[in-house]
Structure 1
């Protein structure tokens, strides 16, 4: 009996040793250089987190960038806390002082980047954290290079909605990748002349910004690798983003269109 128990104990011991050796071997398969590359890849990853309409968050350079948060801070409870916030324009679907106050009250380091017109309408409590950017101005934030882009209407009947110079779109450049956020605009030359865009958020709603055909035509001009239709709820309902996708991908299959859950 003792002999049998001894053999069993030896078998278990040998099995455990083999398992440990195998685990150690697997651990050694990932060299420090590969581990560093994996970590770097995770840091470089761009993650998009839509909230609603024009509001969303992005993970850039391992930091959380909010764009146009509105509707109450509780709407963002499921998202990571912001490291910085960008506001595009003065309208209520882009700028909400109460939401900005609530999102930033516990962290005095959070900056709010916005055009001058937005700053004028925000309360005194937020003034010490505001950074104003004008069209074509460039700054660096948290390791990300940002350019404020023009956004305005072209159609005669819509020119008063968004006048040139008041609001900002934004162009983010991080780890050799460019992300364009259109803000409320039409298919302006500044959009059509963009180059080497990896990811674009493009608005399309009537009567406030532009029709689907114009948005698709502009995208076919500047050829982003990937485009997210956003801000597509208009006065009479939703714009036809499936039509937008069909126009773009039919004319240039290399452009990826992804329709996120905005509404």
Structure 2
């Protein structure tokens, strides 16, 4: 009977991919969806990050109260996916460039945030963090100021969502991050070495590499884990399957 119960638990973890991280006032539940898309639950808030890949991927999720969108590209702002979701109770949090492209009526309301701005939204202290490519050029895929990364305070745990960025100074200078979702995928974000180097500098308690679909070693999450663990053994690297 114990074996059967354990088997069911393992199957559930494999199917739903959820992690639970305790905070001062309840667990944060983390569900990887795909690529740069995830769901966070804490207390009464259900947070969708960059909903993408079709509404059917969210069929087993609770309806969102908050939707964070980082940038205008289709794997972050995906209107087709948004149109298939029940956003009747959801506030959309986004940079101005995203808000300008949202179809009227998407979500209950839209809360626009600029780089460096801090707001309390649904009781969650939220900071918009710059995300951009280096060097800063006029033809950059991600120019500084257009998109947002985010730091959310959930029950006293700071959660960092990188969005599409390189290993910029603003990320390296982050402090007291409990959970970080860090991208790696050239030419849009970082290679494995850059991502690991940045994580080693700001030292989150837990890091999830995400948004790592790529070729020629760009998706080598095992290498990422080895590099981080060698230089910062106290950082827990959690590898999850974002591309089922």
On the 8 A contact 2:70/2:148 being kept in 1, the answer is yes
Q: For 1:89-131, what per-residue CA distance to the aligned partner results, in whole angstroms no more than 9, with x for missing partners?
A: 00000011122122135x2x31111000011111122286211
Tell me the residue number matched to 1:186: 166
Q: Which has the larger radius of gyration?
A: 1
CA distance in 2, matches of 1:80, 1:160: 36
CA distance in 2, matches of 1:237, 1:98: 31
CA distance in 1, matches of 2:63, 2:108: 20
Q: For 1:146-201, what per-residue CA distance to the aligned partner results, in whole angstroms no more than 9, with x for missing partners?
A: 00110000147896110000000000012221000000000000000011110000
Mapped pair 1:124 → 2:101: no
Pick aligned residue for 2:208 from 213, 228, 252: 228
Pick aligned residue for 2:47 from 35, 60, 65: 65
On the 8 A contact 2:94/2:113 being kept in 1, the answer is yes
Q: For 1:4-48, what per-residue CA distance to the aligned partner results, in whole angstroms no more than 9, with x for missing partners?
A: xxxxxxxxxxxxxxxxxxxxxxxxxxxxxxxxxxxx969521111
User: RMSD across aligned C-alpha pairs, in angstroms?
Assistant: 2.1
More helix by share: 1
> The residue matched to 2:194 in structure 1 has which SS?
helix
Task: Report how far residue 236 of structure 1 moved.
Answer: 5.7
CA distance in 2, matches of 1:140, 1:224: 22
Q: Identify the range of structure 1 (61-70 vs 208-217) with the bigger mean alpha-carbon deviation.
A: 61-70
Unaligned runs of 5+ in 2: 1-21
Task: Report how far residue 142 of structure 1 moved.
Answer: 2.2
Tell me the residue number matched to 1:54: 36
Question: What TM-score do you get using the length of structure 2 for normalisation?
Answer: 0.85
Pick aligned residue for 1:210 from 177, 180, 190: 190
Tell me the residue number matched to 2:12: none
Task: Report how far residue 140 of structure 1 moved.
Answer: 1.2
Tell me the residue number matched to 1:45: 27
CA distance in 1, matches of 2:197, 2:139: 20
On the 8 A contact 1:170/1:180 being kept in 2, the answer is yes
Tell me the residue number matched to 1:163: 143
CA distance in 2, matches of 1:235, 1:41: 37
Tell me the residue number matched to 2:57: 75
Equivalent residues in 2 for 1:133-144, closer than 5 Å? 133-144=113-124
